Amino acid sequence: MQFTKAHGCGNDFIVVDARENPALRLPELVARAPRLCERRFGVGADGVLWVSEREGRAEMTVINADGSLSEMCGNGLRCVAHHLLLRGRLGEEGEVLTGAGALMVRAALTSDDGRAARVTVWMGHPRALSARPFAGAAAPLTTLSMGNPHAVSLDEGDYARRLALAEGWAREVEGGVNLSFARVRGEGLELHVHERGCGWTLACGTGACAAVVAATARGLLPPGRPTRVSLPGGALEVRYEPGAGVWMTGPAEISFHGSVQGDPLNLI
């Protein structure tokens, strides 16, 4: 099995292209994803990205580290756009099909060797914006969908205690939920994300978008202005304009290319 290891702000992925692995099928890859993502005995990653084609367009399928499927991954989509750009299957602007629909991407290389790129993604419109109580929270969290479910905490005074409640809160929502813990810092946000199917991550693109939407809805950020979101693995730029949607810009980098020798269904 041929693969590319890539990351966006430290949110790392094993990118597996159907064109480069004609004998491999998605259900087989899903079954092996937890072993591949294991950091001591596998390749190590937050998830696996399956790049295929449908109706003549590139399509991304997101497999979480625990083998569950996710509708969308913002950092992952930037990595897939970079992958497709290098292979001539995507121009500087194009669409990629995802579980959240067809999303527009703009990608440009930022290194001479092609290992780094900067990618902007139109993330679509936030949906189902509401407030939801969680056990032990003095105030409800803002819940919304960015193609996948998010709950955003913006309570500055209760920040440390809320971080400790994350794993319990994730189990309160049927099917799981991505939990974003955000604090306003100047004109930007500081963010930590507990990701559904993965746990704490160095970065989460959809989480950054959800946090900016929630902060804008609360009046903590002005609409339409680019916002720097600082995560443990780096920074993303997010712009939310109600009625027009959400744009996210950030890096995508290739760590290495690799292969699993022998039967691709017996990876470890």
CB neighbour burial string for 200-219, b if at least 16 within 10 angstroms, e if fewer = ebbbbbbbbbbbbbbbbbee
Out of 9, 37, 204, 209, pick the active-site residue: 204
**Residues near 165 by beta carbon (within 8 Å), at least 6 away in sequence:** 134, 135, 136, 137
**Residues near 87 by beta carbon (within 8 Å), at least 6 away in sequence:** 17
79 is catalytic: no
Cβ count within 10 A of residue 234: 18
Out of 73, 79, 198, 209, pick the active-site residue: 73
* Coil/strand/helix, residue 169: helix
73 is catalytic: yes
Structure token pair of residue 253: 């980098």
**Catalytic residue positions, numbered:** 73, 204
